[in-house]
Amino acid sequence: MNKQNEQDQNPSHYRMSYRDVAMHKVMLQDVVRTDAYEQAIAEVVKPEHTVLDFGCGTGILAMFAARAGASKVIAVDRSPFIKTAKEIAQANNFDSIDFYHDDHQSLQLDKKVDVIVSEWMGHCLFYEAMLEPLLAVRDRYLAADGIMIPAEVSLHAGLVCDEDILEDLCFLKDQPYDIDFSPIAHVPLQQTDLVTLDPECILENTAHLGSLDMHTINKATTPRVFSGTVTPEKNATVFALCSWFSSALSSGVEFGTGPSDMPTHWDQILFPLPEPFVVSPGRELTITISPLTEQVGKEQFWSWSITDGITTLSVNEQSQPLSADLPQGKI
């Protein structure tokens, strides 16, 4: 498939609520993600360790830690689903896991922990704005020589050259049904979308936009602008950028979420360009992507750009409002 939203693959996923079993089912069905976490936890956790699962969801990672022999496991989630997670753990005889209905601000622990495990990553890392709460918990409760799972995450970008993508982006410009949609026809070319792309939709060479060491990164040093370079291997016309993340959970376990990786429940994010961008072999390009929203629960906006040193295309999604709030009544 060239382009397909996750909602199309999983009709129940549109609810996007962690109170909903359907959302947890989607994540548990992601064998790449779940098996990788189980392997990393088994590799890292020792019998003397206390493990904190932050944002525990169904408690699956906490149960993996208990299965790996941790002396103590703490599971934390701000969703009321935490009650169900506890019931699942008890149904599987994991009675020693302590469950806390808390967030990063309200959580109170008596002692520091040896391992923090968290599946905090949203699409393109930042889609769910969970990094800052995780770092706050790490700074308060991880022991000096403690372990983070994931240990490192990285952001990547590719150049989308599939004309089917352009056709989709320009749908409203083509006056479907003989209707002029000019007030909104430009919006799809300046607005991100969640997509699942085949590898042939992007050029072979991709850009590494940066990595986050989960042991050392903090709010002050977390980049708000991610930038990298890529040199195309052939002449092509680029219609959009595409970005995804990879994760090193531990020294021996990693996975990616890009077009060439094994499929996961994470989509890639499409960053359309307002006009086609022609690239040439040997001419280095600089790609920049910036998440503009930090707060949990806020709609995520992005800015992005591409330049070859001569031509530059850039978009700030936040500066493209469709309309302001209006009073009720005739306008």
104-126 per-position pLDDT tens digit: 999 999 999 999 999 999 999 98
Per-residue pLDDT at 297: 55
The whole-angstrom separation of Cα 236 and Cα 214 is 37
Q: Residue 93: its pLDDT value, please?
A: 97
pLDDT at site 171: 97
Helix (H) or strand (E) holding 278: strand 268-279
Out of 128, 132, 254, 294, pick the active-site residue.
128
Chain-centroid distance of CA 249 in Å reads 15
pLDDT tens, position by position, 142-183: 999 999 999 999 999 999 999 999 999 999 999 999 999 999
Q: What is the CATH number of domain 153-319?
A: 2.70.160.11
CA distance 257 to 243: 9
Give me the pLDDT at residue 12, please: 37
Catalytic residue among 38, 119, 152, 317: 119
pLDDT at 182: 95
CATH class of this structure's domain 12-151:
alpha beta
Contact 293, 299 (CB under 8 A): yes
Predicted confidence at residue 7, as pLDDT, reads 37
Give residues with Cβ within 8 angstroms of 244, minimum separation 6.
124, 155, 156, 256, 257, 258, 259, 261, 266, 268, 269
Rounded Cα–Cα distance for residues 72 and 40 (Å): 17
Active site residue 128: yes
Residue 87 is a catalytic residue: no
Which residues of the chain fall below pLDDT 70? 1-19, 293-298, 320-325
Q: Where are the domains of the chain?
A: 12-151, 153-319
Cα distance between residue 86 and residue 142, in whole Å: 23
